[in-house]
A and B are shown apart, each in its own frame.
Chain A
């Protein structure tokens, strides 16, 4: 009886020590990331493995010395080679198929995050906790962000380490190439954050996981194929306008990717075509798309808060 009374007393006196909002958000995000990597998500694990295998293939290609990176800039200096590598990684692997896997991975991993909370209505429970709507959205985007970082920044970091190894593992090489390290991380973060936000938008708009994934894929990859074909036809007929590429998310992100490395954007078709679009147009379209996604998701969730 005494023990029971003590348990009841402890239960009555219980006041939880609650952590800060950023810690809650980070915790939610990390738990979501670990859930994505659980064995239940076989498709996600398979895609990550596929991308990593492709990367391995790329290393082999690099090591043969036949990789025509210097052609991109019309020079053969080793500095150009190093500068272009991460870009080439995305560009060529994109043509080779990795971008297909990357977009598929983003579509599959992001589609359920908000859609599931909306379907089972647990969103109401999360939003009744001491976190804001924005906190919730950040927490839900962290798992996709981290997963995509694993297949964007991480392989490039391995390329970087590979180059360091070729340079004799000298610390001076790292000091001289801090910019490259920073650019790789910015590029990975940029791709990951952009795809996370777009993915969560589809997850919110279409609250059925498989449909949301399909819509995301068609919107991102489908539009890229159509725009690319259209662009090539225009190019061949001599009436091309590079701005049409801004209508494709993939190309828009790639163009900004080039900017991150401080290089001229290019398009690989029958040869290498330089892309000529004003910076303000590129960033304007990007802000418009990401801003619209953010406003839409926020609005959708506020509607759910108000309704049952």
Chain B
């Protein structure tokens, strides 16, 4: 869907994207990274809004060096911040967005009502947008990105500023609308749960570089039950003793991660510590979640 090759984007002395190379497949893709990682910059480059300092980028088979405007016929975009004119009604706004994309009035009107129907908006669609709740505003913002039936929609922090309930609703709406319209999704966020809920593929970005690209299901499988162990003495001997018991421990920064099988694993850890003359300072059962994986990658 998107191919970026050695993309560099600099804003004065700041490098937002640093030799960024990625192949993004079709489907629902999440770009995950902390604030300032370069996610929004990448989305704006892919949309043709800003140019790269160097490198090339291809979106839906079109090279953006040659065509930055017409490619937007195939793309929908939902910006992060609030950007809806308050003076219009929901219907007026969506029709206007359809017309600005190049749709006929009839087509824009019909599609507007279809989308608003999917959003379960009744009479409120004829009310001024200034009267809408935060969640409704986000839904309208999503709808404007889908009005022309794009092949892919770029969602920039779609749940930003929403309370947990509205956030969950928004994620369900994204899933529902993109499912029913068969649209590919590129979701830029710093919230792991958004990616888990919506995406089937994740790209982790930090400091303008690609850190990791993985299928979300595979990543979830990496979530394991472990025992966090901290010892004094020879870690090497301790690991060898554990191995004799058929347990493979891995290093985890401050200590070791020992896979939890059952409560006997605690006993085996104690025995291995005794046999290797190590002091056992800490032994605590923990779960490696996507959060841990994300933090490991980002750190």
Tell me if chain B binds chain A: yes
- Given A15-B149, A18-B73, A122–B102 Cβ distance below 8 Å? no
A42 CA to B223 CA in the complex, in Å? 64
Interface contact B104-A17, CB-CB below 8 Å: yes
Q: In the complex where A128-B72, A306-B44 touch, is A16 in contact with B80 (Cβ < 8 A)?
A: no
The answer to the question of A63 belonging to the interface, with a C-beta cut-off of 8 Å to chain B, is: no
Interface residues of B (CB under 8 A from A): 11, 40, 44, 47, 49-50, 68-73, 75, 77, 79-86, 96-104, 107, 111, 114, 118, 144, 147-149, 180-182
Contacts of A135 in B (CB 8 A): 69
Q: Is the CB of B85 within 8 A of A116?
A: yes
**In the complex, what residue of chain A is closest to B118 when comparing beta carbons?**
A11
A7 CA to B80 CA in the complex, in Å? 30
Q: Which of A22-30, A161-169, A230-238, A291-299 contacts B (4 or more CB under 8 A)?
A: A22-30
**Which residues of A approach B to under 8 Å, CB–CB?**
7-8, 10-12, 14-21, 23-24, 27-28, 31, 116-117, 120-132, 135, 305-306, 308
User: With A and B bound together, what is the CA distance between A8 and B98 in angstroms?
Assistant: 19
Q: A16-B102, A16-B103, A308-B80 are in contact. Are A21 and B69 (CB under 8 A)?
A: yes
Contacts of B181 in A (CB 8 A): 11-12, 14
Further pairs besides A8-B180, A11-B181, A31-B99: 14, Cβ < 8 Å: A11-B114, A11-B180, A14-B149, A16-B107, A16-B148, A20-B102, A21-B69, A27-B100, A120-B86, A124-B79, A128-B75, A129-B101, A305-B44, A306-B44
Q: Enumerate 17 A-B pairs (CB-CB under 8 Å) in ascending A order.
A: A11-B114, A11-B118, A11-B180, A16-B98, A16-B101, A18-B148, A19-B104, A28-B100, A120-B82, A120-B83, A125-B144, A126-B100, A128-B47, A129-B101, A130-B71, A306-B50, A308-B40
A132 to B147, CA, bound (A): 19
The 8 Å CB contact of A306, one of B11, B73, B97, is: B11
> Min CB distance, B79 to chain A, in Å?
5
Write the nearest CB–CB distance from B152 to chain A, whole angstroms.
13
A120 near B84 (CB under 8 angstroms)?
Answer: yes
Interface of A, secondary structure class, is: helix
Contacts A11-B180, A21-B69, A127-B49 given; does A121 touch B114 at CB 8 Å: no
A8 to B177, CA, bound (A): 10
Task: Please measure, in the bound complex, the distance between the C-alpha atom of A14 and the C-alpha atom of B181, giving whole angstroms.
Answer: 8
Of chain B, the residue at the smallest CB distance from A117 is B85
B111 touching A16, Cβ below 8 Å: yes
Listed from nearest, the 3 A-B pairs whose CB atoms lie closest are A18-B102, A121-B83, A128-B77
CA–CA, A131 and B106, complex, Å: 21
For the complex, what is the distance from the CA of A130 to the CA of B67, rounded to whole Å?
A: 11
User: Complex: how many Å from CA A26 to CA B86?
Assistant: 24
- Chain A residues within 8 Å of B83, by CB: 120-125
Q: Which residues of A contact B180 (CB under 8 A)?
A: 8, 11-12
Complex formed: what's the CA distance from A305 to B51 in Å?
Answer: 11
